[in-house]
Chain A
Amino acid sequence: MTKTTALDIDSTLLPARLNHLQALEAESIVILREAVAEFARPVMLYSIGKDSSVMLRLAQKAFYPGKIPFPLLHVDTSYKFPEMITFRDAYAKEIGAELIVHRNEEAIAAGANPYTLGTQNCCGLLKTRSLLDALAEGGFDAAFGGARRDEEKSRAKERVYSFRDSAGQWDPKNQRPELWSLYNSRLRKGESIRVFPLSNWTELDIWLYLYAEKIPIVPLYFAKERPLIVRGGQMTLYHDGLKLLPGEEVRSEKVRMRSLGCLPCTGAMKSEADTLPKIIEELLTFRRSERENRAIDHDEEGSMESKKREGYF
């Protein structure tokens, strides 16, 4: 994974056994290359978050010295943090990747928002529907996603190649067995496969890799004094145009985001961690799962599973 490791190998000796990050990296590269070799038109779902950043670096490595041979697709709900959009555009340009941005303009124009619709309906329109439309419009038969099995219980059973029917839906009882690293990419017309190269990575692996590889990430991950309000028990970053409800007031705290979703539904956490090592140290101190600050997962027991069945990642 790193230059130093490679140089440590004496050419007269056998290569050393890989450490766990190198082993994970090698496995992810196999998956990325296999999908590119076998699918007609793959695309990479790029969410701008830390996992996407790792997945993107793995794609750069997989196809080096060539460029990434597929476009990146960002599903923009219009509720993303402005820092995310700035980072997205600059980074895609820097690495020379083709970027497709898709928005469900109809629903956005109709005023879809999590406050009046509830998070499930809002996500359904702005994320799931929008994603399915974008995949259909692009004629993509495979979409890389940065989901990890350690994120949530229903994801623990997800395949590396997650088969979706012609409506983009996931049936947990109709998934193909996956053995060794032999992936079945056969599809009928209209069907597609979500490919998860980071399946076996944990949140800690992601942070360690970002650190070891010096991969740039959105500054929101680092702690800083930021204006915020407290709404529904979570700290929501304040931005211009956000309407305050009675009793709410803007205050300033040193906070960071542990995961990046939509602005209204992703809470900030108090933190002093303004470097990657500090974030890793903090991660090991606070034993709370990273999706805990996402409103969508907690609507009801098993809510992630329900969303996945409908076509969500």
Chain B
Amino acid sequence: MGAIATDFQDFLEAHLGQELLRFTTAGSVDDGKSTLIGRLLHDTKSVYEDQLAAVKKSRVNRAANGHVDLSLLTDGLKAEREQGITIDVAYRYFSTSRRKFIIADTPGHEQYTRNMATGASTADVAVVLIDARAYLREGKLLPQSRRHTYIASLLGIPHVVAAVNKMDLVGYSEETFRAIRAEFVEFSTQLGLKSVTVIPVSALEGDNVVSQSKAMPWYDGPTLLEFLETVPLAEAGHDGPLRFPVQLVQRPDANFRGFAGQVARGVLRAGDRVMALPSRRETTVKRIVTWDGDLPAAAYPQSVTVELEDEIDLSRGEMLVPSSSVGELALPSIARRFRAMVVWMHEQPLVVGRTYLVKHTTRTARATVKAIRYRVDVGSLEHQQADRLVMNEIAEVELETNLPLFFDAYAESRTTGSLILIDGLTNATVGAAMIVGASESEGADGEQAALVLVAGRAELAERVRDGMEARGKRAVIVDDPLIPIESLVAAIRALSLAGVTAISARSLSVNELEQVRGFAEGRIVLAESLEDDEVLRLSGVEA
């Protein structure tokens, strides 16, 4: 935003075409993170005069040698100004002629892992601060720096840059920088990080933050700002097969029924065949409607409204995915049981056996913690046994939901691989989870039954239907007098094609049952002598 373009139209055009880059900053208490952000804002002329004046006359000044305390530009709340620490995620904004930036400024204090995870969840880049002087003192990276880098990798941030700060306090020593860089790169490689950059800076003096440092002629890489301005962003639509979670159904009048949502992954194209989950009904995208006119195609993060060719049953919490003709690989996992890395964020610990609410894309379900597979020691990255998880701990957890979720592994898709856990009693957001994958023990219980046969037990038939409907599954009792017994198999077949479970209290002959098996092998629940509860469980209705 620095210089004013003489030709203002050119300026407007440039600003209207800017890209958006979101980055997060992580550092330990004394790494000088607030000063670094203050420096970025100050040197890109993003600080207003009155804000700077207020900082200059502030009662607090922790900077030495007559420097303006730039950290005061970012320490927002009273408590922080008094204690000199940052206690919550704060968002900052600045722009240059090349990009607009959103900074999630996250605190580095030991107990605030949850804040770092929060800031990291939406970031394209993580800036991890390393205090060069503390490194010299300890002879190794501080545990916090390792933890921050681990969280950046866990949250799937595409690019990680280490800003080695306070180079002025180590005599701008190339040797010190090289030692830190070697250790950082080794640790990052261990974590599987693919894009890692290390830059020597002094936030206090302004070296290599915005302008190239004269004090470190041995460094010929980019300044921090140059890196942020040029690091490549993901291309739209290159992120895999279509996922369109329905946010809400728009019915402004009898002639229009549209499905509003954000393309979470892949590309949505007018004219494409798509499949609705969980019904597995297929149809074609008729129009992609927006206020600015119909679009031929849309990709993440566009928000659009989809009109479909056929009247199919589709509502909030359900999803449009590629047609099955594209192949099974293009489908998300459809499962109730899965493994996820959980960051715990609440004083009340996570306990095995407890049930929480989960919000995954636009779907809310109940999830029970079946097991903690291991807890991660974020210092050593070792796996440990655990039966509970306290605040700021991280573990791989096995969860089972009452409804199937349609998901991808978080490593493939941050939007369809993430979920939050909510305490159903206090409504607090207690955890964040990144899905690893469906559990192997899942078996067939993710698949909706084609037929539930409860011969002679009409009341049970109703309980099964009501239970399935309450869980968002469509089910119909086919014992209507207008469906003659000889047409029962045809009715079950038709419903099965529509993704609806047929329930009957009538009796089928062995021959008829064989016919049903022909198209629904493995998706038939026979009550026979089973208890009611067992039939409900097999039908996907929890007793």
> Does A239 interact with chain B (Cβ within 8 Å)?
no
- Contact residues in A for B299 (Cβ distance below 8 Å): 14-15
Query: Can you sample 25 A-B contacts with CB below 8 Å?
Result: A3-B292, A3-B293, A11-B296, A15-B236, A15-B302, A17-B236, A18-B236, A20-B99, A36-B248, A62-B260, A64-B305, A155-B76, A156-B76, A173-B87, A177-B118, A178-B118, A179-B122, A180-B414, A186-B422, A200-B102, A205-B100, A277-B8, A287-B49, A288-B50, A301-B54
The answer to the question of A274 belonging to the interface, with a C-beta cut-off of 8 Å to chain B, is no
Contact string against B for A residues 293-312, beta-carbon threshold 8 Å, 1 for contact and 0 otherwise: 00000000110010000000
B359 within 8 A of A: yes
Q: Is A284 a contact partner of B290 (Cβ separation < 8 A)? A: no
CA distance A14 to B242 in the complex (A): 12
For B114, the closest partner residue in chain A by CB is A177
Given A204-B1, A208-B15, A284-B1, 7 more pairs with CB closer than 8 A: A6-B293, A18-B301, A20-B99, A61-B290, A66-B252, A157-B76, A292-B48
- Interface of B, secondary structure class, is mixed
CB within 8 Å of B: which A58-111 residues: 60-67
The answer to whether A281 touches B238 (Cβ under 8 A) is: no
Is A154 touching B248 in the complex (CB atoms < 8 A)?
Answer: no
| With A177-B345, A180-B418 as contacts: A9 and B236 at CB distance below 8 Å | no
Say yes or no: A179-B118 contact (C-beta < 8 A), given A157-B76, A277-B12, A284-B1: yes
Size bin of chain B's contact surface: 35 or more
Q: Given A14-B299, A179-B420, answer yes or no on A2-B292 (Cβ-Cβ < 8 Å).
A: yes
- Whether A179 contacts B121 in the complex (CB less than 8 A), given A65-B250, A66-B250, comes out as yes
Return the chain A residue nearest B72 by Cβ: A153
B543 within 8 A of A: no
Residues of A within 8 A of B267 (CB): 14-15
The reply to whether B252 and A289 contact each other, CB–CB distance below 8 Å, is no
Contact surface of B with A, Cβ cutoff 8 Å: 1, 4, 8-9, 11-12, 15-20, 45, 47-51, 54, 58, 74-78, 81, 87-93, 95, 99-100, 102, 105, 114-115, 117-118, 121-122, 233, 235-238, 247-248, 250-252, 256, 258, 260-262, 267, 269-270, 289-299, 301-303, 305, 316, 345, 357, 359-360, 362, 414-415, 418-420, 422, 427-429, 432
Contact between A172 and B316, CB atoms less than 8 A apart: no
Q: Which stretch (A24-32, A47-55, A122-130) binds chain B?
A: A24-32
Question: Which of B50, B236, B298 lies at the interface centre, i.e. has the most chain A CB atoms within 10 A of its CB?
Answer: B50
Q: Within 8 Å CB of B250, what residues of A?
A: 63, 65-66
Contact, CB under 8 Å: A172 / B88: yes
For the complex, is A199 an interface residue (Cβ under 8 Å from B)? yes
Distance in angstroms from B282 CB to nearest chain A CB is 21
Q: Please tell me if the beta carbons of B235 and A14 are within 8 angstroms of each other in the complex.
A: yes
Q: How far is the CA of A212 from the CA of B12 in the complex (A)?
A: 9
A33 to B260, CA, bound (A): 8
Return chain B residues, CB-CB under 8 Å to A182: 359-360, 418-420
Determine the distance from Cα of A175 to Cα of B118 in the docked complex, in whole angstroms: 12
When chains A and B are docked, how far (Å) is the Cα of A208 from the Cα of B1?
Answer: 13
Q: How far is the CB of B95 from chain A (nearest CB, A)?
A: 7
Separation of A143 and B145 alpha carbons in the complex (Å): 40
Instruction: Choose from A157, A173, A284 the contact partner of B4 (Cβ within 8 Å).
Output: A284
Chain A residues, Cβ within 8 Å of B238: 14
CB of A153 within 8 A of CB of B76, answer: yes
CA distance A187 to B385 in the complex (A): 35
Q: Decide: A208 and B12 in contact? CB cutoff 8 A.
A: yes
Of B11, B95, B359, B414, which is in contact with the most chain A CB atoms at under 10 Å from its CB?
B359
Cα–Cα, bound, A34→B270 (Å): 24
Q: Once the chains bind, are A20 and B76 in contact (CB under 8 Å)?
A: no
- Chain A: interface size category: 35 or more
Q: Given A25, A156, A186, A288, which contacts B357 in the complex, CB threshold below 8 Å?
A: A186
Q: Confirm or deny: A166 has a beta carbon within 8 angstroms of a beta carbon on chain B.
A: no
Across the interface, do B12 and A6 meet the contact criterion of CB distance under 8 Å? Answer: no
Does A215 lie at the interface of the complex (its beta carbon under 8 Å from any beta carbon of B)?
Answer: no
| Known contacts A9-B295, A19-B17, A33-B248; A150/B93 CB under 8 A | yes
Query: Is A37 an interface residue when CB atoms closer than 8 A count as contact?
Result: yes
In the assembled complex, A1 has its CB within 8 A of some CB on chain B: yes
> 5 smallest A-B Cβ distances: which pairs?
A11-B296, A66-B252, A186-B427, A29-B303, A14-B237
Which chain A residues lie closer than 8 Å to B88 at the CB level?
157, 172-173, 175
Residue of B nearest to A281 (CB): B8
- Say how far A13's CB is from chain B's closest CB, in angstroms: 8
Q: Are A289 and B121 in contact (CB under 8 A)?
A: no
Given the complex of chains A and B, what is the CA–CA distance between A153 and B89 in angstroms?
12
Contacts of B115 in A (CB 8 A): 177
Partner of A20, one of B20, B359, B414: B20
CB closest residue in chain A, given B102: A200
Residues of A near B345 (CB, < 8 A) are: 177
